[in-house]
């Protein structure tokens, strides 16, 4: 079976875990701190604004709380978003206002965002599709001009940037995901970035029971009766730990290598699939943009897309589609506008296997199976 996504973990990650076991400190501790510092350096931001948490989903819910979203507020976001983003907004009582995306990049343009703004828009929430930054710089400028908060769901964009500025640092709050299928994997985990200093401190409290100190052991160094609680916010417990941070530190050091392998996969796909009748390749990245190459996707005739996916599955090649449009989901309410780019791309897009574990043979196998299937379904007698 060729998987669509897959982690790349090895001896170095295992050694790092063994060290944590030997230290007997598995909780939030020195490795968590080191991971936050090194990730902040990777982003080019102050480490005081970065927090290692247990998932990007936790980060989305925390962002909604930090920005004070609630009933009467609108949040403009692409319908082509991950379900956790819709849930995080809707759970506060705020209204998700779904905007369209470019049918090729699957990212919203600044114009798509602007068209969807309402007088009650308090925040905009965007992601970077498959690692493509999209018009994030223009969207950030638009939000600044209008006094609207910008949340970047940077789950796909751990190594994406525009003219040297890391995706996730354009807006007010951002989160990255390190779950088992992402580019940088810690098992489960995520990073949170909060631009405002006060809000960053509040995020840290809200991530750990509303407390200033993350453990009594730390508190013991600065106060007697370190077991007493000073609750400042009604927080949850969504912090990361030293076991997952240890894996994250190794994966972060390996990130350039992991991205290079992904880029090589994309280039080979481009080469093998170019000129395939009826197949559109992912759009070129504009000058100055870098991608994390999280997804490799093709677009094809919507009447054959599902058949092609089924044929590939029969050949042991697992493909998928991200992100099924949220405006079609009844839970997010009625009355959404037509979103032609979203609807078209949700019917014609297929994500091919993309991860560093693929070798040249795998990609040749996938390309051959794809050619055969497409040919089969586009020959009139077989339709
Ligand atoms: C994976 C993903 C998430 C959720 O991340 P978790 O760490 O699994 O909670 C959120 N947004 C996007 C765009 C994702 O791809």
Q: Which CATH architecture has domain 11-252?
A: 3-Layer(aba) Sandwich (3.40)
Spacing, Cα 325 to ligand 1 middle (Å): 15
Q: What pLDDT does 380 receive?
A: 72
Q: How far is the CA of 301 from the centre of ligand 1 (A)?
A: 28
Whether the Cβ atoms of residue 124 and residue 77 lie closer than 8 Å to each other: yes
Please write the tens of the pLDDT for every residue from 235-269: 999 999 999 999 999 999 999 999 999 999 999 99
Q: Is 145 helix (H, G, I), strand (E, B) or coil?
A: helix
Token pair recorded at residue 55: 């998932």
Q: Where in the chain is the domain with CATH 3.90.1150.10?
A: 257-378
Please write the tens of the pLDDT for every residue from 182-208.
999 999 999 999 999 999 999 999 999
Q: What is the pTM of this model?
A: 0.96
Q: Which residues line ligand 1 (CB under 6 A)?
A: 55-57, 82, 84, 127, 153, 155-156, 177, 179, 190
Residues of the chain with CATH 3.40.640.10: 11-252
Domain 257-378, CATH among 3.40.1010.20, 3.90.1150.10, 2.60.40.10, 1.20.1260.10 = 3.90.1150.10
The pLDDT tens digits of the residues spanning 112-147 come to: 999 999 999 999 999 999 999 999 999 999 999 999
Is residue 298 within 8 Å of 349, Cβ to Cβ? yes
Q: What is the 3-state secondary structure (H, E, C) of 33-101?
A: HHHHHHHHHHHCCCHHHEEEECCHHHHHHHHHHHCCCCCCCEEEEECCCCHHHHHHHHCCCCEEEEECC
Mutate to test the pocket of ligand 1, among 58, 60, 82, 130 (most ligand atoms within 8 A of CB): 82
Distance from C-alpha of 357 to C-alpha of 170, rounded to nearest angstrom: 31
* Stretch among 5-19, 222-236, 319-333 having the lowest mean pLDDT: 222-236
């Amino acid at each position: 079976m060729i998987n669509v996504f897959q982690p790349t973990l090895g001896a170095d990650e295992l050694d790092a875990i063994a060290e944590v076991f030997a230290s007997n400190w598995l909780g939030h501790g020195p490795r968590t701190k080191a991971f936050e510092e090194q990730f902040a350096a990777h982003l080019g931001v102050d480490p005081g604004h970065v927090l290692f948490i247990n998932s990007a989903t936790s980060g989305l819910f925390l962002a909604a709380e930090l920005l004070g979203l609630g009933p009467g507020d609108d949040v403009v976001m692409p319908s082509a978003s991950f379900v956790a983003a819709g849930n995080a907004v809707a759970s506060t009582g705020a209204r998700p206002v779904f905007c369209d995306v470019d049918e090729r990049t699957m990212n919203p343009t600044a114009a798509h965002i602007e068209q969807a703004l309402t007088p009650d828009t308090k925040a905009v929430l965007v992601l970077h599709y498959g690692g493509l930054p999209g018009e994030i710089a223009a969207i950030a400028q638009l939000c600044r001009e209008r006094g609207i908060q910008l949340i970047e769901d940077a789950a796909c964009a751990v190594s994406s940037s525009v003219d040297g500025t890391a995706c996730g640092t354009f807006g007010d709050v951002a989160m990255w995901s390190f779950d088992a299928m992402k580019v940088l994997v810690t098992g489960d985990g995520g990073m949170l970035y909060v631009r405002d200093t006060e809000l960053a401190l509040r995020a840290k409290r809200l991530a750990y029971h509303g407390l200033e100190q993350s453990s009594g052991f730390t508190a013991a160094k600065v106060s007697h009766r370190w077991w007493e609680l000073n609750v400042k916010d009604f927080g949850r417990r969504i912090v990361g730990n030293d076991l997952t941070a240890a894996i994250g530190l190794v994966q972060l050091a390996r990130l350039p290598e992991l991205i290079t392998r992904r880029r090589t996969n994309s280039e080979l796909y481009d080469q093998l699939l170019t000129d395939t009748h009826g197949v559109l390749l992912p759009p070129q990245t504009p000058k100055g943009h870098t991608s994390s190459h999280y997804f490799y996707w093709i677009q094809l005739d919507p009447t054959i897309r599902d058949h092609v996916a089924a044929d590939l599955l029969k050949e042991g090649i697992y493909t998928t589609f991200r992100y099924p449009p949220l405006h079609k989901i009844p839970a997010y309410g009625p009355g959404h506008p037509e979103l032609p780019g979203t609807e078209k791309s949700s019917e014609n897009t297929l994500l091919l296997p993309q991860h560093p574990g693929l070798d040249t043979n795998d990609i040749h196998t996938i390309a051959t199976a794809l050619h055969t299937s497409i040919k089969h379904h586009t020959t009139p007698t077989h339709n």
